[in-house]
Structure 1
Amino acid sequence: MRIYLILLIMSSANFFAQKTLNPGNVKLESKFIKDETSNAVWYAEKGDQKIEIGKVTTEIKKIDKAKLLIKTTVEMNQAPGKPWVDSTLVRVSDFQPIYHSSYNLMRDMVLNFEKNKATGYYLDKKSQKKDQIDEKISTEYFDSNSYPGLIRFLPLKEHYSIEIPIFDYNPSAKKGVIKAYIEEVNSGEFNDKQVWIVKTTDDIQDRKTVITYFIDKSTREVLKQEIDAGGRKMVIESVK
């Protein structure tokens, strides 16, 4: 009986160890990673109505054989001509973060990643307060801006779930490595296409925001995102 319990404990430990995804153990479906530009429309949902609030352009580009650039430009209807731009550079083989910049109406931020630390700055445009960033990191991690892109290229399957350590910097909330979660993956159909339906959340908003991705199985294109932010519902739909 004692031997059985020891084996059970060891088996359980291995099981839980496999529940965390990081650059050291990630296995990507690399055939889907290629240069592309995709466009989407961002809507707020109110009852049965959808109200357009902005447009989203996502560019993915291999800088060389080793690096991948993910750039997202958001144009909000209430602030024309002042787009939000996020650029993330990762290692293409395992999404190890290298660089992240973010510019919008509220703040500017630049992060440079090394294995054990993140450096850069955060400028609050309202207060004009500029924080110098020098955060030590003791674990493997992904960048918080790249993990939504990472999800597309994982070996998705039914009932897949995993924890993902991500680095995020917000001086008024959380700083450092926190977690994102793929809570569930199911097969489905959207616009006559077979899709993976991937339900995610993260600790950035204390798991109060849930984003569900509808990902084309044959291309790994994100066809739709459903966002439930504490009862406020939004949707981002791909357009050609």
Structure 2
Amino acid sequence: MASFDSDGVEIAYIDEGEGEPILLIHGFASNVVTNWVDPGWVQVLVQSGRRVIAYDNRGHGKSEKLYNPEVYGAPAMAEDARRLLDHLAVARADVLGYSMGARIATFLALAHPDRVRGLILGGLGINMVRGVVASGPIAKALEAESINDVTNDTARSFRAFAEQTKSDLKALAACIRGPREKITPERLATIGVPTLIAVGTNDVIAGSGRELASLIPGAQLLEIPGRDHMRAVGDAAFKQGVLDFLTRRP
């Protein structure tokens, strides 16, 4: 992976293929390889004639690890995305974010609507507004000496995933303890770019995709049949729905 300086933070990224650019933003405790390469997203998008840009969020993957929670707010992380587009001289791109990446993508679209051609929010429904799971137990699970010390089932699943992705547990704990900026219905109503909401029908972490879509003018809903939060990522119906959206959106 290449890297660049995002206002003092080293961010690792990939840039593959040619054609209309699409920026991919992964979820919490994940990385480019786990979220986008291994599930086949990069291959599918490149084969469809697109330029695929994806990066490891600060504190994740091969990007710089930071241990101050205050530097992990979603608006600040959205500026990493904007600076990467600047670094690559990409004026405007489609943006696909999953879970935490969907929050970051939304803040990017709100702060820099001229840089976002189409917005795809995966793995996050109405809980973008209501808030997702409590961060305290997850942070404590990440900081625990062993996963065997974690009794909360949800927190344990996050710890297990973080270990699977070989993440820096202390950096992730700082990330999830970071600022939790609210996204209100009023702010979502100002989004003017074509938007697709893609949520698994069994995804209790995301909340209702239909309710979120109702708050964004003209947003389309893609329900991923029979998939929960973790298993929706690489689903074939998700990929095809995104390709269809990219083909027909203005």
Whether TM exceeds 0.5 here: the answer is no
Structure richer in helix, relative to its length: 2
Structure richer in strand, relative to its length: 1
Q: What TM-score, normalized to structure 1?
A: 0.30
- Higher-Rg structure is 1
Q: What TM-score, normalized to structure 2?
A: 0.29
